[in-house]
Amino acid sequence: MTLSMYQASVPVFVRMLGNLFAILDKAMAHAEARKIDPAVLLNARLFPDMLPLAKQIQIAADFAKGTSARLGGVEVPKYEDNEASFAEFQARIRKTLEFVQSLSAAQIDGSEEREINITVGGNPMSFKGMEYLLNFALPNFYFHMTTAYNILRHNGVEIGKRDFIGAI
């Protein structure tokens, strides 16, 4: 049995973004119960030179939509990056999920050799589809998902591995 490009991308993004949505529910409840301004959590970092939670969530969503769009050969949706509350970040996740789920297996399968050209930090990068997905996009997506989880966990939100991985 083979693993298709669609199976290796869209269901992964859908599952993990759904888990992030649920984790943000727990973060909201944590902030409310402890009378913590949600902005404190959204601006929290693991280390001063790392991006805050808000940016980690934005980037994770961006990798999901950008990767799916590029593999599917469609325009990457643009978001304003102006979210300021947990509810607004959940709306971003919802919008990302709707986009990712709108792409069919027929659009993404066969993209293993598709030329993917992106610019990162002002530097152009070129990949073939499979290399892009497995060696660039998924590792970056998981990095930002994990960092978002770790920021919340470090700040006392009661979440664990099952929250990150989700129900199997």
Q: Tally Cβ neighbours within 10 Å of residue 17.
A: 23
Decide: 128 and 114 in contact? Cβ < 8 Å.
yes
pTM surpassing 0.85?
yes
- Nearest Cα residue to 100 out of 17, 4, 2, 3: 17
* pLDDT, one tens digit for every residue, the chain (168 residues): 689 999 999 999 999 999 999 999 999 999 999 999 999 999 999 999 999 999 999 999 999 999 999 999 999 999 999 999 999 999 999 999 999 999 999 999 999 999 999 999 999 999 999 999 999 999 999 999 999 999 999 999 999 999 999 987
Q: Does 76 fall in a domain?
A: yes
Domain span at 137: 10-165
The count of structural domains within the chain is: 1
Q: Does 1 fall in a domain?
A: no
Decide: 97 and 17 in contact? Cβ < 8 Å.
yes
